[in-house]
Each structure stands twice: as C-alpha cells, then as structure tokens.
Structure 1
C-alpha cells in the first residue's frame, strides 16, 4: 500500500471502526446482498438465445451458448457477478483514476499513470480492431453493463459500503471496451522488470565502477539451462536479415555513463520511488515474478499422449488475479468456434491460459527488454522543445483532467518526445544544472523519456481470442504473431501428440546498446532499428528431446543474433526441473508432475551449506545448532528446522555482505539474481564486497559467514525459542492474502474483513515451488504460484488445476477463500471440460434468457 493511500484511509480510521460495527450488525443484508445468483433464471434482453451457466463445488462456471455474442456477453455478466469491485479497481488503476475512488491521496499516483498513458493507448486500439474481434469485446461490455443496470452500491460488492464513508457520491460508471484493453497494459507493465534494473544500475554507477556494477548484475552462465539450446535462425531467414545484424555493444557516446548517472541520479531515484509505489497496487515487480511450465511428449508419459504443466508466479493478492471458467459453444461452427477451459482475468475477454477441445497452452514470462530510458536535452529558452540531431524540436502535449473524490480537479500536461512520455517530471520538476564539462553543448536542463513497446498500439487482445479458436500448431503460431506485448514463453501440446514452443513479442532491434543503461536521446545514434521479425523469433516443434522446459531462463544462447535481454532469470528453477525430468526419463503421469510442481529443493543451499559446514565457528553452541544442516536434503518443507535455519542465515549473509554498500532501496531482496551474485562471490574470498566499510577491520568471506550464522541463530532463538528442534520454516514463511485496495489500508478492522491468512507454507525463492519472499522485509510470501495446472492430452477431463484463494471476490462468500487449503497442500480440483464431465460436477445451474 503506497503511503498516500494509507494516510488517506487512516483519516477515516475512527469512522471505519464504527462502520465495522455497523457492518457486523448488518451482516445478513450488507454481506450477502452482493452474493451472485447462481441458480434459477435471469432475464437479459441483450441476449439473442438461451445461455446456461453451470458451476461446480468450487464456484467455477462453465458457460454454454449457441452463438459467440451471447457467450461473451455471459462471460462479462458472470465476471461482474463475482468480481466487479476488482474490475472497477483495476480499470481505475489502469486509467490513472484512483483519485476518483480514494481522493487526493492518490493524485501523485494518478499523475504518474496518466504520464504513462495506458488508457490513451487502449482507446487508440479500439478503431483498429477488425469486427471479428470488436464484436466479442462489445458483447462482453454489454454483459458487464447488464449486471450494472440491476446492481448498485453494496449490491455490487461489500467494498462499496466502506468506500461510501470516504466517497459518498461515487457510483460506478458503465463498462467500456477500452477498460478491457487497458488491463493488458497493466499486466505488461507488471511483467516488465528491465526498467527497474536499468535505473538501479544507473544509480549504482555513482558509487561503483562499471566492473563492480557488473558483478551485481552478472551475465547468464553458459552452464545454465537454455530453453532452446540448439535453435538457429534458418539460413533463408538469416539472409533476409542483411545488415540488421551486427555485434551489439555497450553504449559508446561522448558523454561518460558515470557522468550521466551522477547528473540524473535524483530523477532516477524519483522514478524508482514511483515504480515501487505503483507496485503496491499492481503487484510487486521483479523478485520471483515469472513462472514454470514444461511439456513432455507422449513417448515419455504413461498414457502415450503429452502432459503439460504450468504455474505462473505473481504477486500474492485477494482475490486472485485468475478467474477459472469454461466457454463453450453448444455447437462449434465457423460463427461460434469456442470450446475452451482455463483461466481468465476478470475484465478480459476469453481464456488467457488453458486448453480448447484440441490444443493446450501455458505461459511463462520471457522478461524481454522492451524498455529504454532516453535522456533528453531540453531547450533552456523553451521547456516544450528538446534536441534532435542539433535542432530544437517541439514536443507533443496532452492535457489530462484528473477528477478527485469530492469534486476537486487537477490539470496535468503530459509531454512527449519521439521516444515517449517524459516520466521524470511527474514528481521532480526539471532543474537547471550547470555541468560545464559534461557534454560539448553544455545543456543545463534535462528530462528522462520512456520508450516501451507497451506504449504503442498492440494486438494482444486479438492474440488471446485467436488462441481460444486455435485447433492445431499452425493456428497456434498464427495467434502468437499478435502476442506483441508482455512477451511470453508459449508452450503447446495437442491431442494428436504434438508438443511445441513459440516465443512471441514485439522486441526492439538495438544496434548500439545492450539495453542495460539509460541512453542519450539527442542524436539518432541509439535509436531502435525496427523489431525482430516474427519468423526469426525462437520456436520448436516436436523437439528430439521429447520435452520443453521454460522457467524464465534464457531462451537461446549467445549465438542468437538479436538481443532479447541481458537480465534473464538465472535458471535455478529450470535447472531443477530438468534434473527431475532427466532422473525419471519416462512414465510421467499426474502424480510425478504434482511432485515436480511441489518440489522444494533449494539450489542456493546446496551451494552455500558445504562452505558453512567447513568453517570453524569457535562456539560449541553454534556448532551444535549447525548440525541441523549436516544431513539436510535441501528441501524447504514447512516443518523443516534446517530450512528455517538456512533462510535466516541467508538473510543475515546478505545483510552482512551488502547493507553497508547500498541505500535501503537497493538492499538485496534475496531472489535469484542475488543467489547468482553470491555463488560467484564465494569463489573470491578476499573480494571487495566482503569487507564491511563501516567497521575498522577488513572482513573476508569466512568472517562474514561466521558473523551471519551467529546473527541467524540469535534471530531464531529470539523469534522461535531456544530449542532448535522446534524451529519450523512455516513459522517464519507464511502466506497472507491481502485485498489489493482496502485490504492494505493499515486499518485493522477493515483488513480483517477483506484479508485471509497467514498460513504456513513450504517453498521459497528460486525454488520450483516458488513461494518467494523479500529479504529486505520479512519471510512472508510476496510472490506465489498464482495457479497450478496439469493438462492431460490423452483425456482433457483428467486435467487438474488449483488457484488461490478462491473464485469469488465477495468477502465471506463460501468461495472467497475455499481454495487456499488445496493450493497450500499441493492438491488440485478436477478441471473437467466436456459437457458430460461438467454436468457430472454441476452443483448450481443458472439459466440466462432473452426477454
């Protein structure tokens, strides 16, 4: 929760307590009033034919309609039934309109979001949609609005009762098509972390040499797994590339990068603060956000057909980002080609991850570098001009009107260069800077612009609908061509026994930089040279290995002629998944895939524990406790005392090694990058980084290890007691599901209404069961497997899945948190999809009828 938001809510703290008492006394009316009708009949004049909605024991709906219009209208209606507050909050977030909900406390966040301009881009996309895609979007919008016509205030969701105290005049507006498209921008932003790392590197260059900064952002190891190790661009394609190919070099300019970093440090810090603040609303960025997916061919399964597994890792939240459902045409035709089951986003048309009656697909984040910061020279005589190749050029300007709760408005001017919006001036105004030796022209005013593919009109929406219609590998790849932002590793399987992989995305061709640092924007020297053609993006179909594994690790090796990113996940999870696949080799089934998704093996511990065990501690008490690690299997089970000891040691090791070097914003978060940094560092016992610059002595690796272990034991004895046999990882590592908006208010009575947890859980950072935590803060899980799915292509009705915490967005509803036990215990529910299978699992049936 960003500080302004918390402050704004706490102003109403006393009233909220009174309100909580009122809510308690009116529970039967307020709480249950918003619960959706799940059986019986509802008349909807917007429909052209009868629609059937069947829900199972977990509230998961399957919608049956005779035509596409009614199918997507019903999807909009059902999403609104279960999740409208989430949809309303998300659309205000995406459009930079949080002040309309929560008042002036959200003004700065809205200003930053308006500068990014996601909603403006979404509006530009609407007229470009062919009718075959505009029609489902329009139908979905009709369905949401049909629900809004009959439901208001707490009849929509309990959150509106709380909001009414803060903002009595607020009423949800009708849903618009651009609200759906805007959410794609929010997700693309959430999944793109390169900007954070670009800023961090630039700031660190103030203090450290480029060589030292590179040690903190080490290259991807040539020993780490690559998704497609043997993939090469076809000879005929490489000939087409012509002189676009060339060795990518780091930035070469007349302006030293160290000088640029020092000059712009205040602006970089300001931008970083706003990104961090926004992350409290969109979900945390970086860390362990990513995913696992793997698919094996029928030659390696017990059924003779492929199995596909997927578990996306996203920020923990309440309700889930996912909404599971099925969309079925009662008779598949060219006009109604849908028979899909899987996971949707409330507010988005179609199924994002899942399967049709013939193919299945999963996603993991590529982490492609599609963002660059450009440093612009501003005309001292005219702040609306910037330099391009020695000439002053006018900026484009857009005036935004920000409406706040209570009626107050604020005007904001967003200025654009050829690279994108100026993001440095939303919070810190441009300042005259006199640095005589910085550049040849001695500019005294600067700004920072963001170029990002997500700020260009995109086709992601059409890609999703095409995936939902795909019947084979050719259809799948055709759909992937439009998957242009939030590039994903797409894994594929079909009922004919084929498996495949495609990396889609709109990836810039850089000829003068590797994307790691901000670039001078006043010449053409560092411009993008178009985008990588889709035909030259990595893919494979039925590879000889019989399996494909993606876990945010490198897609291809360094022989690939284009830059995808220099900031891959370092491959710990991919390495472990490959080890498990190669150990078993054949006979894979549901149970073996379940064990893999729940694997808690800690490769970081495997590297560091032997070093720790071989060090003299000089204290018999510490040595007895260290014995917990001697026979440890490196599994991070929730009841493991060794796991608790190691992770406490890991936190203290990062603290002792790096906290003296950085500001708190850049302290290690304990994730996969820092594991790679430490794995390299332990091989150099006298490295500069081991020495604590705040102490008179010169520390080395062994001394820091000893100090960290002693501090870890003291921490655990203080928190969990003096008996190390009673320590459990789950006592430290828990999952608390917090509502993204009101559940992070800092007001205990309100949080108690909307949040659930914590529950002890296994797993951790860079582990297949990726229940990651942030070492800067606590052991509490911040990123989790947001859902797990195992698809069986021999019988799609034998597929299983689980999400968390539940289907419903209504606090106290039976499906608000009922999936947490399944998720926590690595259990699943049946993911049936055929009509007979759905009917056999039906608990409630709702009929939607036209008048």
Structure 2
C-alpha cells in the first residue's frame, strides 16, 4: 500500500482507524452469524435415538412444520419431544421456569415478584400432584415425550447449540445449564394456560375496588347482565336434542358481600399485574371464535369447522404446529392427528384426526372466588374458631444475588395472595387478607383429555374425552367425516352454597362455600341442531332458564351475533368463505354511537368520515381511525375521573353495553366530569369533548388531512419475545422482536385484534391462529399461525407466517401421507 504514504498523515491514520473498525465489525458479524446458525436444527439426514423400537420419519414442508410418522405411540411421542426441542427448547425451558416460579434463577431480581406470585399459587406443586392421577397410558406418553427432549439435550450439550437466547443469557448469568425435561414440566404448562384463561378474577376484583369508591348500584351499572333478547346463546332451550342434560340444579343466590379492604385488594391487583404479559394478565379480549356448519350449509356436503383462539400476542407464537401419524392406525397405535399444540406439551390441542375435528373457545365460567379472611400471623377465623393456617417456606434462587425466602400462607379456601407483594402485616393491616379459591389449584386430569381427543373417532368417544377436560373450561365444537356437528361444555365448575361469584365474600362465616362441582352430564351440549350450525364466541352458553350458575360475566355477544348473521345469511359456504368471516372487522357498537356523533360533530375535523362509513376496520380505513380515537377519548373522559385504577375501562364489549345504556340517560352522573367543580356535564358535553380531542389527537399523529388518516398507523402489532423482548437493551430487543406491523380489526370484533383504551391503540391480543377444517377433504383444510414454527431468531421459519396472518391469508394443511410427502422439503429419519 505504497500509495497511502503519499496521503497526508491525518488521512492515513483515518483510513487505518476505519479499516480497524471494519475488521472489528466483520469479526463481530462473523461471530454473531456463527452463533446464530450454530443453534439451527438439523432437518435432513439421519439421527440415532436411543429407546426407539422402530424407525421414525419426520417430513417438514416449506414452513418448517413437522409431520411425524412412527409405528408405535411411544416412538411417535418420543420423536415429538425431540422435534419440538429442535425448534423451541429455549421457549420450553423459559416456560417451565415460569410455572415453577424459578425465573429469578435466570434473570435475577427483575423477575422476583413474578416468582413470588407463582410460588404462592403453587402451580408446580399442583402439577406434581396431578401426575399420579393420570391414566397409565398418559403418563407413559408424557415420559416418552420427555425422553425425546432429553435425547436432544444430550445430542446438543453446548447451550450455544441449543438457542441464541442462551448465548445472550451468558452475558448476565454464566454457567447456566438446563436440566433434563420431565413429565411434570409438561403438565405444569396447563396451569399457565388456565391462568391465561382464568375467567372473571379481574371482574370480581374490579367490582370490589370500585365498591370502595362508589355506591353498589352505580358499580352494578358497569357490569350489565347478558341481554338474552338481543344476543345469541350457543345452546337454546333447557333441554337438548339428545337429552344429555335437563338443566337441573339450583341457581346460587345473589349475596351482599362484605366490604373488601382496599389495601388488600390493591395488593392482589399488583400481584396479578407482575405476571408475564404473555400470560394475558386478565385482558378482557382473551377469548376466541369457533363455529361449525353442517353439510347442508357447505358447498362440499360435509361439515366445515373454524377456530381462532384470541390470546396475548407474543414471539414466538404460543402455538406450535405438528402432525402425529401412526403409519398404520390400529388399536395399538391409534394416532393420526395434526394441528396446534404448546411447546413442551405432547399431543395436539386444537386440530383434527382422520375422523373428527375440534376447536376451542374459552367457556369462561366462574371458577374462582376471592375470600376475605380475618387472620393472625398463623390462624384464620372460621365459624368463630381460629383455624391454623397452612404455612410453607419457599426458597427462591436469584442470579447474581442471595436466595430469597418466601412465606406462603393459605386458608381452607386457598393461598393468601394479598401477602405476595409485601409482608403479611403490610398487605393486610388489622388481619385483613384475601385468599384465592380456584379450580386450577386442585389436581385434575386435563392431560388425559388431550390424548383421548387425539384418538377420538366419533361423538361418543369425543364426549368421553371432553369429560376429562377440567381446567381451563372450554367451549368445544366438533365435526366428523360422517357429517355430524356438535357442541360440548366441559370443565370443573363449582356449585356455590351462597353468593354468585361476582364479588369477594367473607371467608370466616362458613356460608359462602363450594359444594362440589356440576356433573358433566348436566353441562350444556348439542348434537346436529336444526339450524345446521353452532357458533361460540365466549357469549352466553345457554339461556337463563338453565338453573346452574355458570357465570354472570360472559362476553356480551357482539362477535357471536356477527358470526351468526354471516353464517345464517351466507348461503352455502366453502373454506375460503369461512376464512373471510374470520377476518370480518365490522365494529358492532358503531351503528349505535355514530348517530350521536354526527348529531353533535358539525365542524369537527374528521366527522364527515363517519357519514358514509360501513363500520369495517381495515388498515387503510380513515373512519375507523377516527371512530376508535373518539371511542377511547369518550371512555377516558366519562369514567376515569371516578373509577380507581383496576376498575377503569379497557374498551371491550362490556363497555359497549355500559355506554349503550348511558346514551339513553343524558343526565346520568357518570357523564359529569368530577374534575370540573363548577359545572355539571351531561352526555352531549362529553361526546363533543371526545370528538374534539380525538380530532386533535389524529391531526397531531396522522396529519391535518382526515382523508389520509389510516387505522393501521395507530393499530400496530409488535411481536415481543417473551424473555428478552422487554430487556430494555435496544440491540437485544431488535434481535428477538419483530414489527411493528399494521393490523386491521379491533376490540370485540370477529377479527379481534384487541387494544387497551387506557394505554393506546397498540395491539395486545390477537387471533393467535386461524384454522378451517374441511371434513370432506382433510387435505383441503387451511391454517395460519401468528409467527412461525421456529423459536430461533433469524431462522427462515421464525416469523414467515406473520405477514400472511396480518393479511388474512391461510396456508394449505396437508394431512394424508401422500399429500404430506408431496409437500415435504426436508426429511429427517430417526433410527433406533
């Protein structure tokens, strides 16, 4: 480089410095690429797997989705464990630390509060107690799955080979090595999903918090009953066509609960909110849509089944797709099933086999109660007697710090969760405490139900499987290749001796107890209804003639009514039409509110957008942007001045009903702004204020021309990695997070991309998957996942389905061996 000597020395040194920087960057880039790719799985070739009896074949399609073929159930599920670990082991390891209350072993003090809540609830202990209750076959297959995971761990002993997250973790916590997988690790994740879908704890808590500030009758305005005259139920009538239940039993009486201590309730609310966002944290939009139509309503002459569960958005998706096939289906090897499961859990949770298809939505019965307790340090009052508390000490290991000891206290009703965020006396001065009674804290047999559903062949065997599905209680829709469609409510649902579960109750009086659970035979069910279709969308299951109390906190039927209308009036539907319904974004409350806004909004920039709006909410809709901004401002201005945190509106369909009633009461006290002491506002004052403030907000954020406003610019989804996605370190977040992407739909609509009015328009909950099963030709079924099959950042399968998902596109779902082999792009063989 003689020519450099002719340059001036500052330039020469500048070039040398630049060259050095480039070398460092190239080395760092090379190291990063090497580290990333080191964790990518082997999808082709042969791998020896100890414990196999026969050879197992794994085909993967262009989306990296595995379809596994074996000759015995043990081989099949052993291979499923290995294959799932290939794609998602970090996620599995992270999740078991959540369910065991051991996150602080990885992340230090930052996750200590989360561990305290989980240890107090005792998810891991419940899972350990469940394992011996399961059928021997279930335990055997759980162990086979765990053995497959552990074989993968032995084949990949270096954590850098396992996932990029372990390399990042190494900067904070050195020397960590994951433990072997166990059957309890799999079962424990069902507790996390039960927490995600935990019914009405937040509603019960919200009522109690609001009660401390407002009269009961005003609080009750915020929790209107389900309108059985306007909105549909899943099952009609007190008797069902097959006579499976009679609607017997006794409805619990509404009861005036004791005044709840505000400080203890606030501590409970804080405990709930420290749980990871991917566990939902009580978001009212957690729910789902599912519906099934008979062959009389389909173009194929056989049933079509659609399902899209609404869960917290996360990266990677909570769902993992897989197919599990016995090469020859026999009594000894009965599995031929494909669909969606959870990483770390064997079997298929939602999907179809060669005979039947099924989908889930959250039944959301009231399966939890908050009990107000009178306690000392070691006792709780019950019927005038001081009973000893159940007390245990939990030791929580903390990376980079000393272990922390947690004292967990429990009454006869359950763990005292008001203790968690502070010591017992600080949380409950004067002996006031709040305990949680929840069905998920009792050992059950839900894991049995998953395997039983996977091998069900008709309505009878499917219902038998459903009888074991205890927690979380779900609406199950069903279809089979013979042309039958059906619905079943499963779940462990308590019978209360007193009270209706809507507010915390005294734990000391012995009156408000659970007296067993509803028999499965009395839960609503229907087979082949005359309508030719069944719709479930978290709406009321059955009318108020049904005596047992399931809950008073249903979703309010806006999604269910829209789906019902589209199915009933849609003529004969095909799979594409079912998918179009899943993407429907019509705002069901807008026709009620918009006339009031047009009446008042003359001169407000943006108001003319609403005059010709069709109430749909695609990403490019200007009217949708304006309406949702008005709706948010209306809620904040109407309710935040009076309601304490924990009772304020999120904007979902309960608030549609609240405001619908208030619109007919222009002088209702809720319209008055408590912050303006010298004025008494009424309905039109607040509506006009909301219009003006929404208009000003959109001018500032989206520009002065309303025609250029776009809903998608406000309503964005950032896929956030559940472990490192909120680290606060921008480069690390960029490695694992993806987005933002623009999303259509909105709150409490069929395309339920939910947002929280208290926080903004960013998407929090989503249709986490979409599927349409075609019982005339299972190879013609369609699906889409929120992200992709892989949990490895930078894998081609990390988020390859996301843009398709956002557009409403779906992917072919090959099922038969011939179709799977034709679509295969990778083939891996496991040999004994």
Compared with structure 1, are the counterparts of its residues 366 and 238 closer, same or farther at alpha carbon in structure 2 (3 Å cutoff)? Answer: closer
Aligned-pair CA distance for 1:672: 1.5
Match for 2:460 among 461, 474, 485? 474
- Counterpart mapping for 1:632-643 below 5 A: 632-643=613-624
Is the Cα–Cα contact under 8 Å of residues 584 and 749 in structure 2 kept in the other structure?
yes
| Residue aligning to 2:710 | 728
Q: Match for 2:83 among 71, 78, 81?
A: 78
**How far 1:434 sits from its partner (Å)?**
12
Match of 2:657 among 647, 660, 676: 676
Change (3 A) 1:170 1:654: same
Q: 1:129 to 1:768 in 2, by over 3 A?
A: same
Counterpart of 1:453 in structure 2 is: 439
Please give the residue correspondences for 1:131-530 in structure 2 after superposition, counting only pairs within 5 Å: 131-151=136-156, 152-222=158-228, 223-232=230-239, 245-252=249-256, 257=258, 260-261=259-260, 264-379=261-376, 383-406=377-400, 408-431=402-425, 444-530=430-516
When residues 636 and 476 of structure 1 are mapped into structure 2, their CA distance, relative to the original with a 3 A threshold, is same
- The 2-side partners of 1:738 and 1:839 are apart by 34
- 8 Å CA contact 2:242, 2:527 repeated in 1: no
Deviation at 1:173, TM superposition (A): 0.7
Alignment partner, residue 552 of structure 1:
538
Q: 1:272 to 1:839 in 2, by over 3 A?
A: same
1:651-800, aligned counterparts within 5 Å?
651-695=632-676, 696-800=678-782
* 1:43/1:849 contact within 8 Å kept: yes
Give 2:21's aligned residue.
none
Contact 1:247–1:511 (8 Å) recurs in 2 = no
8 Å Cα contact 2:419/2:427 also seen in 1: no
1:439 corresponds to: none
- Measure, in 2, the Cα distance between the counterparts of 1:592 and 1:191: 29
CA displacement at 1:537 relative to structure 2: 0.2
Q: Report SS of the residue matched to 1:501.
A: strand
The residue aligned with 2:529 is 543
Deviations 1:666-705 (A, max 9, x none): 3311112111211111111111100001012111111111
Q: Does the 8 A contact of 1:287 with 1:774 survive in 2?
A: no
8 Å contact kept, 1:246–1:511: no
Superimposed CA distance per residue, residues 391-421 of structure 1 (whole angstroms, 9 cap, x where no aligned partner): 1222222222211214632222322221111
Q: Within 5 Å, which residues of 2 pair with 1:576-615?
A: 576-584=562-570, 586-615=571-600
Q: Deviations over 1:230-279 (max 9, x none)?
A: 243799988996xxx43422224xxx63xx22xx1111111111211204
Partner of 2:124 in structure 1?
119
1:76-105 superposed Cα distances (whole Å, 9 cap, x missing partner): 101100001110110000110011111122
Counterpart in the other structure of 1:3: none
Instruction: Measure the CA separation in 2 of the matches of 1:474 and 1:188.
Output: 26
TM-score calculated relative to the size of structure 2: 0.94
Q: 1:566 to 1:832 in 2, by over 3 A?
A: same
Contact 2:309–2:769 (Cα < 8 Å) also in 1: yes
Is the CA contact 1:801–1:830 (under 8 Å) kept in the aligned structure 2? yes
Matched-pair contact (CA < 8 Å) for 1:20–1:749: no
**Contact 2:341–2:349 (CA<8 Å) still a contact in 1?**
yes
The CA deviation string for residues 721-767 of structure 1, in whole angstroms up to 9 with x for no partner, is 11111111111111111101101112111110000011111100011
For the residues of structure 2 that align with 1:114 and 1:429, how far apart are their CA atoms?
A: 15
Partner Cα distance (1:170, 1:21) in 2: 29
How far apart, CA to CA, are the structure 2 residues paired with 1:805 and 1:457? 33
Whether contact under 8 Å (1:294, 1:309) holds in the other structure is yes
How far apart, in 2, do the equivalents of 1:285 and 1:238 lie?
31
Given that residues 102 and 167 in structure 1 are in contact (C-alpha distance below 8 angstroms), is that contact kept between their aligned partners in structure 2?
Answer: yes
Structure 1: any 5+ residue segments left out of the alignment?
Answer: 1-18, 436-443
Q: Paired residues, what number?
A: 806
Contact 1:51–1:63 (Cα < 8 Å) also in 2: yes
Pair 1:231–1:283, CA change in 2 (3 A) = same
**CA–CA distance in structure 2, aligned partners of residues 247 and 576 of structure 1:** 30
> Is the 2:238–2:247 contact (alpha carbons within 8 Å) kept by the matching residues of 1?
no
**Deviation of the 1:389 alpha carbon:** 1.6
C-alpha separation in 2, matches of 1:110 and 1:328:
38
Deviations, residues 562-585 of structure 1 (Å, cap 9, x unaligned): 11111100111001001111222x
**Aligned equivalents of 1:684 and 1:114: distance in 2?**
47
Structure 2 residue ranges without an equivalent (≥5): 1-23
Q: Is the 8 A contact 1:267 1:428 kept in 2?
A: no
Q: SS where residue 772 of structure 1 aligns?
A: coil
CA gap of 1:174–1:36, structure 2 versus 1, over 3 A, is same
**1:520-577 Cα deviation digits (max 9, x unpaired):** 1113211111100000000000011100000000001111111111110011100100
Distance in 2 separating the partners of 1:296 and 1:234: 17
Contact 1:569 1:672 in 2 (8 A): yes
Is the CA contact (8 Å cut-off) linking 1:430 and 1:446 kept in structure 2?
A: no
Q: CA deviation at 1:150?
A: 1.9
